[in-house]
Structure formats: structure tokens, C-alpha cells
């Protein structure tokens, strides 16, 4: 059996100046950390925010910040070869259910798995099961 390296990354929320720097500088923005991502068997990121689309420009009523992210934030993760995003957090519904659906749909269109949220309660509670290097691994994400 080959060695399996799973990397979990913390909150990813590329907005404002940070987002602009990341999108403009690509892989160079993460330089030394990029090598750790590439040498991992599977990489999951906590995706803090919701993708804005023409269907969900309205933020929900809540206390605290609303994090609206551009679709390029998913494209950027794809360019880094990120495998999955965790959506069980306090910002996944910042743009309502349509924002969550936009995020999941866009991630899946880039081949990025999602866990921790879904179109139904059953999907939201479903684990992500992946076969990595011949081993079945279950990811469960709750908030």
C-alpha cells in the first residue's frame, strides 16, 4: 500500500485585496505551500463564503459579515489541484440557498468535491467517500 497524505486547509475566503493578489499571482502567491498541496494525495479546504451569481445577489439578514465570493475563487482552487471544499460553516448560506447551490454547482463543474452542505438535509448530512490510493476514506463535515 502506498503512503496517503491528506491535507486539510483552514478558512479560504479570497475577497478584497487578498483575493486580487491570489488571482493575479496564481500559484506564486502560495509559493512554498504550493509544494505541500501538490505532494498530497487529497486536499480539502474550508470554503468560507458563497459564490455570487445573477440569482443570488441578495445577502441574508444576519449579524456579522456576509462573504460574497467571485466565481474565480473556485477556478483558483482548481488550478491548485484542490480536491474538495468543506461547506459546513457559518458563511455557506450568506447568499441564501441559491448561493449555496451556485457554490456547489460551480465546484462540481471544476471537479471539486463538496461536503457538509447540500440541496437537502440528507445531502447535507452525507459523508464524502473517496477511494484514495486504493483505500476508502470517509470525510464527515459538521458545524
pLDDT in tens, 113-141: 999 999 899 999 999 999 999 999 999 99
As a whole number of angstroms, the distance between CA 116 and CA 104 comes to 11
**Which residue did the predictor score with more confidence, 102 or 55?**
102
As a whole number of angstroms, the distance between CA 128 and CA 18 comes to 29
Among 117, 44, 46, 109, CA closest to 83: 44
The pTM of the full predicted model, rounded to 2 decimals, is: 0.88
Q: What is the DSSP letter of 96?
A: H
Q: Is 59 exposed, middle or buried (0-12, 13-18, 19+ CB in 10 A)?
A: middle
pLDDT in tens, 43-60: 999 999 998 876 666 777
As a whole number of angstroms, the distance between CA 52 and CA 93 comes to 11
Amino acid at each position: 500500500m502506498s503512503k496517503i497524505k491528506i491535507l486539510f486547509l483552514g478558512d479560504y475566503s479570497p475577497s478584497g485585496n487578498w483575493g486580487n493578489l491570489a488571482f493575479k499571482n496564481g500559484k506564486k502567491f502560495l509559493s512554498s505551500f504550493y509544494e505541500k498541496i501538490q505532494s498530497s494525495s487529497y486536499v480539502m479546504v474550508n470554503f468560507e463564503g458563497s459564490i455570487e451569481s445573477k440569482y443570488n445577489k441578495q445577502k441574508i439578514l444576519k449579524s456579522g459579515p456576509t462573504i460574497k465570493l467571485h466565481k474565480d475563487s473556485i477556478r483558483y482552487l482548481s488550478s491548485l489541484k484542490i480536491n474538495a471544499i468543506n461547506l459546513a460553516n457559518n458563511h455557506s448560506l450568506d447568499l441564501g440557498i441559491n448561493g449555496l447551490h451556485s457554490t456547489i454547482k460551480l465546484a462540481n463543474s471544476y471537479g471539486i468535491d463538496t461536503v457538509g452542505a447540500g440541496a437537502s438535509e440528507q445531502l447535507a448530512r452525507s459523508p464524502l467517500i473517496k477511494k484514495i490510493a486504493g483505500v476508502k476514506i470517509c470525510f464527515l463535515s459538521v458545524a
